[in-house]
Amino acid sequence: CINKATLKETRFYFADCRNSDVGKYIPACSAGKFDYNVDRAKKIISVNVSNSLRDQDYYVRLCHKWFTCEDVGAFAVIKGKESFKSVSLKYSQPLPCLCIEGWLAIPDARRIQLCPFENDTKVLWDNIVYSPATQTIAWEPACPVLVMVNLCRLMKSNDHCEDIPNSSKNSPEKVKYSRVDTHPRLCMKFTTKQGSWVKCPFAHGEFPAWKMRTAAAAERIQVFFTSQTKAQFSVLVCNRTQLASCESVGIHHSVSLGDSVSITMSQEMCESTICIQGWRTDVDYSVPLQICDIHCGFRGQTYSDGNPAKAMTHRVKSVHSLH
């Protein structure tokens, strides 16, 4: 007859192979042991099996760990009878979910998984794809990851990337934004528990960009836009209360490419923290560019396009702009 204590122990045996006293009597609990070396230049992982019990054959493979570990091709058998218990597996990308799985060639063998690149999170943000036909920017995780994605505006002054409103997506799957401006300062921000990464897919100048500039004469500020593609713009006068936020003062205009808009400024506005903000309205996601520190032309004429070297007048003062 079986007493209560034995029953309890038996259940325990099968539930927990990690208990070494228990595990060594149950073949399926013997996972063997392996270690590995990575040759990043040759993209090869060498696996060395150190302890495969009773000369059993040992299997190793590479897999991508999602819900289960999905096969990625490389697979090898290490013969238990051979003294040299080592094998090389080739990988293509050092993804954080790329794991080495090893198990003894017996039914229901326990499998060990080691993931050599588990901390290489930043490779996940590399595969951003832009499709010009739909103006869509998309990112798809190559590994399961808990991430918040935002579009953001990269600030020139401090390399901070300020979130574009209503662009936050919390998704373990594909993230897509349609009708996106291809401005070099429009970036994608990925935030995980480990930190934040910013990727700027249009930063290298191969996509059409637009520019905003202002010219001041007396109490009027003229705002112009140039663009390599057809575009519509909005202009807003705002009061910069903090570095990251600029509150509308209620002056707002729409501008077509090639036109300009003229804004009447009071002397008080010229000398305060007032900025001119402009963005594209023919897309759903655009970076607002900002020209601040506006010196109106009360003492002559000044122009600013954020680049004093190209300014057209002798009265240019220091210009701080974010485009």
Residue indicated by tokens 């934040």? 196
Paired with 63 in beta bridges are 71, 99
Cβ proximity to ligand NAG: between 232 and 273 the closer is: 273
Cβ proximity to ligand NAG: between 22 and 249 the closer is: 249
Shortest spacing between CB 287 and ligand NAG, in angstroms: 23
Amino acid identity of residue 302, one-letter, is T
Shortest spacing between CB 132 and ligand NAG, in angstroms: 39
Residue with the closest Cβ to ligand NAG?
239
Q: Give the residue from 96, 130, 127 showing the smallest Cα distance to 113.
A: 96
Shortest spacing between CB 76 and ligand NAG, in angstroms: 21
Question: DSSP assignment, residue 53?
Answer: G
Structure tokens at 251: 């002056």
Cβ proximity to ligand NAG: between 93 and 273 the closer is: 273
Cβ proximity to ligand NAG: between 29 and 223 the closer is: 223
> CA–CA separation, 88 vs 37, rounded Å?
9
Cβ proximity to ligand NAG: between 20 and 119 the closer is: 119
CA separation, residue 91 to residues 72, 87, 305 (Å)? 9, 13, 49
> CA–CA separation, 323 vs 239, rounded Å?
17
> CA–CA separation, 261 vs 263, rounded Å?
7
Shortest spacing between CB 45 and ligand NAG, in angstroms: 12
Shortest spacing between CB 115 and ligand NAG, in angstroms: 6
| Interface contacts to ligand NAG, rule CB under 6 A | 116, 118-119, 239, 241, 249, 268-269, 272-274
Cβ proximity to ligand NAG: between 45 and 311 the closer is: 45
Shortest spacing between CB 204 and ligand NAG, in angstroms: 32
Strands 245-256 and 260-264: unpaired
Cβ proximity to ligand NAG: between 186 and 294 the closer is: 294
Cβ proximity to ligand NAG: between 124 and 274 the closer is: 274
Question: DSSP assignment, residue 285?
Answer: B
Paired with 48 in beta bridges are 35, 86
Shortest spacing between CB 154 and ligand NAG, in angstroms: 25
What DSSP assignment string belongs to 128-159?
EEEETTTTEEEE--SS----EEEEEEE-TTT-
> CA–CA separation, 182 vs 199, rounded Å?
13
Shortest spacing between CB 57 and ligand NAG, in angstroms: 26
Report phi then psi at 241, rounded to 5: -85, -35
